[in-house]
Structure formats: structure tokens, C-alpha cells
């Protein structure tokens, strides 16, 4: 199966996007004559595998480059150095190269890779540190990059007429995007309807609850347990039923795999059932083939079914491996606790549970996830308990984690209580907790967390369905400002509440639905993507939804970015 996702069925012409990136890379390589030794930022390497795919070259990397060059120079080696910055060269990196006296030794170029299509409906800007950088360091470089990426999309697909943003970073991105349009306008011919109708920008900060919860969709669970990296997981070969001891294999996970496409967004419980049904029906067919005489065409059908066998085997193996995680009492205990915290009714139980985790020196990131969840839903901890837990953390995991605590506090994820929590109001108003969720035949996005509807996706749901005006009071309770703007030639005509009505007019002539691009600044989880796909597939939905994100995250990877050792 192809490692690179097949984009032919994408609602936007993403193939052209990918092809352009490929061409640009090849041009760079062609332009350098002679034998090359290609050194790629490891983060970039995995990204390149899916464009062949990015990340901002970071400051420390510059030091690394310099030390390598110095090393060569001291050995008297003469080489030509070409440094290509992805997606663009920056003053600060060049400054470092200059200060290290290697600037003159190298040819500097850039590879303008701003967007990587991860799947038919998922675009990634590959800015994995975006959330931490903007929340903790105040470095908003990523926002400019996001705006630039969206602006690039606009060059291909027309100016996006409606923009909704919630959260500080999102509003800023919308603002930068408007500036870019003013500085470097996209000239869209007047009569063509832009392919993307609405842009919804959401800060991860607006909803930090959802990513901290354990994802229960198939794809989400794989990420929680095995860490999906750029559309594939690495596993021991033995798990996949291969006889190679100790060898790792890469299992690609994208929509080119038909079975995966069918089950990736379902709740894991349901996935197990489906796999069982499929296996049973195949077994039945098998016994029929072996015991009764059958016509050639029936045999043909059977052989056709056999073609899907490798895919089935793969997912059965995977699912089996996952159940070894999900059946652990610790996992179940954690699920229980997550739901208790979200319910926000029994403060003491939660507090003691977390305290115990710390005492038992459970992995730090797991503790932090629950702690963040706890702090957010109760809008901080009372000073005494705040200091107590922090002290216990330092005692258990070492004083070097002072920096981690500091980061979390700066980002507002773990803090002292200053006001009463309004989580209960939000939860009730947006119906975040849904009782009696039927995970097999879901009628609400809550199925992805077995009873909790992700807050972020509820906001998208409202935005698409009726605009944000009806829930304005609730929006005000969430962090950051929100804004709604009309752009381009639509700026003067329609008002926002008529979006629904105008959707019919906006329908692209060939029967495709018009598009809503939902951009998560700070990352999105697989479970949320699944919920969006669920929304998109609902009857009466006027739009196709596609997702843009700085990076695909999980509670684990998100919490991990904040972990910093003073050392």
C-alpha cells in the first residue's frame, strides 16, 4: 500500500498542491551540482516522507549546523554547504550563522513548504511547537506562517469570503490574513465562486479539555497508545504477525486503505464488532467454499473478498494489540477519572486520585494530562492545594521540573484559582456530556469520547449551523476574543446570519458542496477530526468540512511540549 495518502477524492484539488511541493524540492536538488550529502532535520524527514513533507528550523539546529561546519573546517575538508530553510529563511537564523562565522561558507535558500496534505481532508502546517511557543514564549511566528499558508491556499482556490475566529491567536491570524490580502491581493475573477466558503479559526487554548481526554475512536486510540507519526505507526514486527524478531515495521494509516477509511472514525468498541462480523462472514464463505460445490462466479466473488484479507489481518492485529492497553485497569481507571473530572461534581475524589498518581511516580506526562484537565475544569486550584501538588511533583520527579511548572502556569494550564469556575455552565449550555450514547449508531459527535462531545467541535457545529450569535454569551466565557468578518467582494453585501441561506447559492455548479475550512491553531486530535467527519456526513449538512492544523496532536504530545528540564 502506498505510503503517501491518495488525494484523488479530496474535496479540494490537493494533488496539485502536493505536486507543486514535489517539483520545488526537485528543483532545489537539481540546482546543486555534483554529489550531494543531504542532511535533513529529523522532524522534517518524516514530513518529507508524506509529500515527499515540515517544521521551522529552530535556533538550536543552527548551532548544530555551525558545529558541523566548524568541524569540517578544522579537519581541512572543503565542502560546499547549502542550507535550505523550510518554509523560509529567517533573519534570526542567518544572524546566528553570521555570528558563528559560517555564513559566508554556505549558500542559503528556501523551500516554501507551508502546507502538507496529510489526507484527503486534513492539511497540516507542521508547526509542532506552535502552541507552546505562542502560549509560553510569546513567539507568534507560527501565526504568521498559518496566515501565509491560508493565503497560499487562497491563491489556488480564491479568497475565502467568510472568516470566523475564536481565541487570541485565531483573531490575530484573521487579522494578518487580511493584511496579506491588502499587501499581496489574490486577484479572483469576479464571477467565480471561491471554492472555500468559510474559514473557521479556533485556538487550541479555547478547548484544552478535549485533547487531555483519552481518545476512543480507532485512529485516536492508536495515536494514544502507539503514537501516529505523519500517517503511520511503527511497531514490532511480531505484533503484526510477522516472524521477524525485534524488527520494527512501519504501518501506514491513511484513507488509501479502504478498511481503515471505513473504521478509523468509529468508536473502538464498534470497530471490534465490525472486525468480528467481517471475519465471521469470511469464515462462513470459506466453509461454504470448502464444503459445498460452487459455481465459478461464486468462487470469483470469494476470491475478490480474499483481496481484502491483508487489510483485515493488519487491522485485526492492530486492534488486538490495542486491547492489551485498553484492558489494563489503569487505563480504565483513567477513563473513569477523566469522566469524573469533566462532570466536575466530585472535587475531592479527583484531587486524591491525582495526588496518588504523583506519589506512585506514574509517568509525568500522564499526571500532567489529568492535572491540566483538572485545573481547567475548576479554573485553577485553590492556592494551598496548588502549592501542595506542585511541591509533591517536584519532590517526586525532581526540581528540574520547575521549568515545566512555570511553562504550564504561563500557558494558563495549571494555575491558582482566582475566580469561580464556569465549566458547569459551559458544559450544560453546549451539552458536552451526553447520556446514553449509542456508539454503534451515533446521533451525536459525543460518540468519539463515549459520552463527551468535544467542546471545539461543538463550536464548529454551531458556527456552521446557525452562526455564533446565539451562543455569544457562552463564547464570552471561553478564553480569548472572537470575531466574524466578511472579505473580498462579499464584504459589503451579505450579513453573517444569512450564511445558511446563501449556502444554496454558493453551491458549486457541479453538485459538490461548498467547503468550510476549519483551522485549529495549536493542533487537533484524531478524535476531533473524526467528529468533524461525522458532522460532515450528517444529512442536511450544507458543507464539506476540511481540517487545517498546526499539527496533529494528542494529550500526550501536547503535554510533552511543555515538559522542560531546567538542565
Task: Please give the residue ranges that form the binding site for other proteins (CB under 8 A).
Answer: 59-60, 63, 88, 90-92, 95-96, 99, 133, 137-141, 143-144, 147, 172, 175-176, 179, 182-184, 241, 269, 272, 275-276, 279, 283, 286, 306, 309, 312-313, 316-317, 319-320, 323-324, 326-327, 329, 332, 355-356, 359-361, 387, 390-392, 394-400, 402-403, 406, 565-567
Provide the grid cell at 230: 505523519
* Least distance (Å) between residue 538 CB and other proteins: 28
* Least distance (Å) between residue 455 CB and other proteins: 27
* Least distance (Å) between residue 59 CB and other proteins: 5
Q: Which is nearer to other proteins, 397 or 543 (CB)?
A: 397
Q: Which is nearer to other proteins, 367 or 430 (CB)?
A: 367
Distance CA 460, CA 394 (A): 39
Query: HSE on the CB side for 145, CA within 13 Å?
Result: 33
Q: Which is nearer to other proteins, 306 or 494 (CB)?
A: 306
Distance CA 534, CA 266 (A): 9
Q: Where are the beta strands (DSSP E) in 193-322?
A: 196-203, 232-236, 248-252
Q: Which is nearer to other proteins, 79 or 391 (CB)?
A: 391
CA 502, 506, 509, 511 torsion: positive or negative? negative
* Least distance (Å) between residue 527 CB and other proteins: 18
Integer CA distances (angstroms), 338 to 343, 346, 364, 559, in order:
9, 12, 16, 16
Distance CA 189, CA 422 (A): 47
* Least distance (Å) between residue 68 CB and other proteins: 17
Q: Which is nearer to other proteins, 129 or 457 (CB)?
A: 129
Distance CA 161, CA 226 (A): 40
Q: Are 147 and 2 in contact (CB under 8 A)?
A: no
Q: Which is nearer to other proteins, 272 or 448 (CB)?
A: 272
Distance CA 238, CA 249 (A): 9
Residue with cell 468535544: 454
Provide the grid cell at 103: 555564513
For residue 214, which of 110, 312, 328, 103 has the smallest C-alpha distance? Answer: 328
Q: Which is nearer to other proteins, 248 or 383 (CB)?
A: 383
Q: Which is nearer to other proteins, 249 or 503 (CB)?
A: 249
Query: HSE on the CB side for 440, CA within 13 Å?
Result: 4
Q: At CB < 8 A and 24+ separation, what contacts does 452-455 make? A: 452/213, 452/339, 452/342, 453/531, 454/207, 454/210, 454/527, 454/528, 454/531, 455/206, 455/207, 455/209, 455/210, 455/426, 455/430
* Least distance (Å) between residue 272 CB and other proteins: 4
Q: Which is nearer to other proteins, 75 or 360 (CB)?
A: 360
Q: Are 430 and 471 in contact (CB under 8 A)?
A: yes
**Residue 395 — φ and ψ, nearest 5°?**
-65, -40
**Residue 516 — φ and ψ, nearest 5°?**
-120, 125
Cis peptide, bond prior to residue 402, ω within 30 of zero: no
* Least distance (Å) between residue 144 CB and other proteins: 5
Distance CA 163, CA 196 (A): 11
* Least distance (Å) between residue 92 CB and other proteins: 5
* Least distance (Å) between residue 382 CB and other proteins: 14
Q: Where does 344-438 have alpha helices with state H?
A: 347-359, 364-377, 383-397, 402-410, 423-429
Q: Which residues contact 138 (CB under 8 A, 6 or more apart)?
A: none
Q: Which is nearer to other proteins, 32 or 239 (CB)?
A: 239
CA angle 231-236-237, nearest 5°? 95
Q: Which is nearer to other proteins, 100 or 422 (CB)?
A: 100
Q: Which is nearer to other proteins, 8 or 400 (CB)?
A: 400
* Least distance (Å) between residue 317 CB and other proteins: 6
Q: Which is nearer to other proteins, 49 or 396 (CB)?
A: 396
* Least distance (Å) between residue 431 CB and other proteins: 26
- DSSP symbol at 468: S
Distance CA 523, CA 127 (A): 9
Distance CA 12, CA 51 (A): 16
* Least distance (Å) between residue 426 CB and other proteins: 29
Q: Which residues contact 107 (CB under 8 A, 6 or more apart)?
A: 80, 81, 82, 83
* Least distance (Å) between residue 335 CB and other proteins: 9
Q: Which is nearer to other proteins, 56 or 370 (CB)?
A: 56
* Least distance (Å) between residue 437 CB and other proteins: 15
Provide the grid cell at 114: 507551508
Amino acid at each position: 500500500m502506498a505510503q503517501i495518502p491518495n488525494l484523488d477524492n479530496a474535496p479540494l484539488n490537493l494533488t496539485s498542491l502536493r505536486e507543486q511541493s514535489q517539483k520545488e524540492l526537485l528543483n532545489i536538488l537539481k540546482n546543486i551540482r555534483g554529489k550531494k550529502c543531504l542532511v535533513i532535520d529529523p522532524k522534517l524527514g518524516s514530513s518529507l516522507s508524506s509529500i515527499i513533507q515540515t517544521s521551522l528550523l529552530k535556533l538550536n539546529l543552527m548551532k548544530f549546523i555551525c558545529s558541523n561546519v566548524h568541524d569540517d573546517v578544522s579537519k581541512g575538508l572543503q565542502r560546499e554547504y547549502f542550507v535550505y530553510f523550510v518554509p523560509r529563511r529567517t533573519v534570526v537564523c542567518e544572524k546566528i550563522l553570521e555570528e558563528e562565522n559560517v555564513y559566508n561558507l554556505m549558500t542559503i535558500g528556501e523551500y516554501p513548504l507551508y502546507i502538507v496534505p496529510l489526507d484527503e481532508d486534513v492539511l497540516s502546517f507542521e508547526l509542532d511547537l506552535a502552541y507552546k511557543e505562542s502560549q509560553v514564549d510569546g513567539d507568534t511566528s507560527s501565526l504568521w506562517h498559518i496566515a501565509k499558508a491560508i493565503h497560499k491556499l487562497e491563491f489556488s482556490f480564491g479568497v475565502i469570503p467568510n472568516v470566523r475566529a475564536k481565541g487570541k491567536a485565531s483573531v490575530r491570524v484573521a487579522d494578518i490574513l487580511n493584511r496579506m490580502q491588502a499587501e499581496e491581493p489574490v486577484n479572483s475573477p469576479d464571477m467565480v465562486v471561491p471554492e472555500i466558503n468559510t474559514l473557521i479559526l479556533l485556538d487550541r487554548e479555547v478547548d484544552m479539555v478535549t485533547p487531555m481526554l483519552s481518545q476512543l475512536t480507532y485512529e485516536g486510540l492508536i495515536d494514544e497508545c502507539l503514537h501516529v507519526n505523519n500517517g503511520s505507526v511503527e511497531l514490532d514486527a511480531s505484533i503484526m504477525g510477522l516472524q521477524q524478531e525485534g524488527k520494527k515495521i512501519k504501518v501506514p494509516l491513511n484513507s488509501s486503505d479502504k478498511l481503515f477509511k471505513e473504521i478509523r472514525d468509529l468508536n473502538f468498541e464498534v470497530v471490534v464488532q465490525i472486525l468480528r462480523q467481517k471475519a465471521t462472514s469470511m469464515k462462513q464463505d470459506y466453509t461454504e467454499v470448502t464444503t459445498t460445490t460452487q459455481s465459478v462466479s461464486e468462487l470469483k466473488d470469494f476470491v475478490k473478498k480474499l483481496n481484502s484479507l491483508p487489510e483485515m489481518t493488519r487491522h485485526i492485529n492492530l486492534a488486538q494489540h490495542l486491547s492489551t492497553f485498553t484492558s489494563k485497569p489503569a487505563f480504565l481507571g483513567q477513563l473513569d477519572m477523566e469522566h469524573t473530572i469533566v462532570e466536575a461534581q466530585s472535587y475531592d475524589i479527583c484531587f486524591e486520585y491525582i495526588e496518588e498518581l504523583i506519589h506512585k511516580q506514574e509517568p509525568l506526562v500522564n499526571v500532567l494530562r489529568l492535572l491540566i484537565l483538572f485545573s481547567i475544569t475548576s479554573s485553577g486550584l485553590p492556592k494551598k492545594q496548588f502549592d501542595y501538588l506542585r511541591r509533591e511533583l517536584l519532590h517526586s520527579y525532581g526540581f528540574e521540573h520547575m521549568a515545566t511548572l512555570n511553562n504550564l502556569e504561563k500557558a494558563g494550564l495549571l494555575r491558582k484559582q482566582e475566580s469561580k469556575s464556569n465549566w458547569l455552565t459551559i458544559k450544560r449550555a453546549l451539552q458536552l456530556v451526553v447520556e446514553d450514547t449509542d456508539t454503534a449508531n451515533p446521533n451525536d459527535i459525543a460518540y468519539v469520547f463515549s459520552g463527551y462531545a468535544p467542546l471545539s467541535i461543538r463550536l464548529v457545529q454551531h458556527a456552521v449551523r446557525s452562526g455564533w450569535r446565539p451562543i455569544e454569551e457562552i463564547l464570552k466565557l471561553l478564553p480569548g476574543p472572537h470575531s466574524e468578518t466578511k472579505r473580498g467582494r462579499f464584504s459589503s453585501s451579505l450579513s453573517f446570519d444569512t450564511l445558511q441561506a446563501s449556502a444554496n447559492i454558493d453551491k458549486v455548479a457541479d453538485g459538490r458542496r461548498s467547503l468550510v475550512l476549519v483551522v485549529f491553531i495549536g493542533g487537533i486530535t484524531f478524535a476531533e477530526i473524526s467528529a468533524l467527519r461525522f458532522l460532515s456526513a450528517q444529512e442536511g449538512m450544507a458543507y464539506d468540512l476540511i481540517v487545517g492544523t498546526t499539527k496533529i496532536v494528542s494529550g500526550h504530545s501536547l503535554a510533552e511540549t511543555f515538559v522542560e528540564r531546567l538542565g
